[in-house]
Structure 1
Amino acid sequence: TAMVFVWSYLTRGDAGYTLVQVAVNNLIMLFAFAPIVVLLLGVSDINVPWDTVLLSVVLYIVIPLVAGWLTRTALIRRRGIEWFDGVFMRRIAPVTPAGLIVTLVLLFAFQGEVILNNPLHILLIAVPLTIQTVFVFWLAYRTMQALKIRHAIAAPGAMIGASNFFELAVAAAIALFGLQSPAALATVVGVLVEVPLMLALVWYANRTRQRFPAVSGNAPGTDASGVGLT
């Protein structure tokens, strides 16, 4: 989900809308992730104890969420909202992508040989992910175009719908199945497929901006809410 802010920025999306969408998405994941995982694994006849899945939710969603809220509250009280947004957030911005990169490097260290020796398996993982991402983006984007929703909402909205929570997927796959498991491999392929694919969708969204209702009064370099993008 952290990358959604990047996609929104690249399409000059509404920053406030993007923030709300990501927050809602994370809250849904907090309550829906465990039931969805158990349901899908049950369909595949893979039995995973509920306590294991719930532990993954606590470790990778609840604890970071609570820690983030406590940190934000404490720092704003001490230093103020302007320092928090202008200084602290800028300093920690690289932490999320850096952590994801380190995780992927470790996964490649254990899965590199499997990837090289099984190109067909990689293709079988990549194809449905590509179809899913493109279809969901197209459906959301075209629906909002038909409803005459402005581009600053439509583009990030479609991006959020099409993107996957691969940070959580990687963590949960490792916790449930192990670092060398096929599930962990699938999450690695997912990241490799999604990043260039989302960049292509960003390019498409920017090329089709003129098909959406024009919003007067926006200065160059700002989103539809007037928030600066540089």
Structure 2
Amino acid sequence: MVIIWNDLACGDREAAAVLVALNSMFQVVMFAVLGWFYLSVLPGWLGLDQASISTSPWQIAKSVLIFLGIPLLAGYLSRRLGEKVKGRQWYESTFLPKIGPWALYGLLFTIVILFALQGDQIISRPLDVARIALPLLAYFALMWGGGYLLGAALGLGYQRTTTLAFTAAGNNFELAIAVAIATYGAASGQALAGVVGPLIEVPVLVGLVYVSLALRGRFRTTDPTSVPAAGGS
């Protein structure tokens, strides 16, 4: 989804692909560790009630390896083998356009099923939905705004500043949904939080795409990462 938002905002697609790949590898290694830290360690430091985790960090790590590690490995092998057998031109112009949309189809199917399972809870527990939504709204505002300001301060230019902002704001709800279902079940409160994620992320990031495009004129026209419009003066 990060690459989709990046494309809509006319960001640097190659830079976005690199950052998304690095982020995915980081998650494979650190997702379970950070989950354990935020649920079991940090609340104690802050004087809050510590969550009682009924599952081990290894079970969470196993879910991450299945839902993120396997696709990463499959993508790597498909590129290496596809380019070796058919060549890069065939791989990028024929294979990728055919297989690319299936990722979005799978995500949409998962979200539809989850809404079917969690629809009653979303309607009957508005306060819980609000408690999930408010931190997400703050997260998107802080991460996107911080990424945008950092990119502008570093002089990255519009395209790479936009890429940095949307990469920072992306919360990978796809992985969160997969791990929540595999670890706690499709009818759990954790899965409910995963369902609320897209409800907030999609409209907020669509709005941020328009904000980003509106701010485009504030960057210098000599932006080295920008592609001049055809026929422009």
Does TM-score exceed 0.5, indicating one fold? yes
1:50 equivalent among 40, 57, 60 = 57
Q: What is the CA–CA distance in structure 2 between the aligned matches of 1:22 and 1:105, rounded to whole Å? A: 25
Superposed CA RMSD in Å reads: 1.5
Deviates more, 1:40-49 or 1:129-138: 40-49
Counterparts of residues 9-158 of structure 1 (less than 5 Å):
9-42=7-40, 43=43, 44-47=50-53, 48-158=55-165
- CA deviations on 1:66-124 (whole Å, 9 max, x unpaired) are 12211221111111111111111111121111111111111112111111111121111
Is the contact made by 1:149 and 1:213 (CA closer than 8 Å) also made in structure 2?
Answer: no
Identity %: 34
TM-score of the pair, normalised by structure 1: 0.90
- Following superposition, the deviation at residue 22 of structure 1 comes to 0.8
- Following superposition, the deviation at residue 181 of structure 1 comes to 0.3
Counterparts of residues 141-220 of structure 1 (less than 5 Å):
141-214=148-221, 215=223, 218-220=227-229
TM-score of the pair, normalised by structure 2: 0.89
Is the contact made by 1:148 and 1:213 (CA closer than 8 Å) also made in structure 2?
Answer: no
Secondary structure of 2:227's counterpart equals coil
Q: What is the CA–CA distance in structure 2 between the aligned matches of 1:124 and 1:181, rounded to whole Å? A: 16
Relative CO higher for 1 or 2, CA cutoff 8 Å, sep ≥ 6?
A: 1
Amino acid at match of 2:203: P
Q: What is the CA–CA distance in structure 1 between the aligned matches of 2:83 and 2:166, rounded to whole Å? A: 30
Q: What is the CA–CA distance in structure 1 between the aligned matches of 2:11 and 2:194, rounded to whole Å? A: 27
- Following superposition, the deviation at residue 41 of structure 1 comes to 2.3
Give the length in aligned residue pairs.
219
Is the contact made by 2:144 and 2:168 (CA closer than 8 Å) also made in structure 1?
Answer: yes
Amino acid at match of 2:30: A
Counterparts of residues 215-230 of structure 1 (less than 5 Å):
215=223, 218-220=227-229
Runs of 4+ in 1 over 4 A off after TM superposition: none
- Following superposition, the deviation at residue 18 of structure 1 comes to 1.0
Amino acid at match of 1:25: N
Is the contact made by 2:32 and 2:58 (CA closer than 8 Å) also made in structure 1?
Answer: no
Q: What is the CA–CA distance in structure 2 between the aligned matches of 1:218 and 1:175, rounded to whole Å? A: 43
Amino acid at match of 1:8: N
Q: What is the CA–CA distance in structure 1 between the aligned matches of 2:201 and 2:36, rounded to whole Å? A: 24
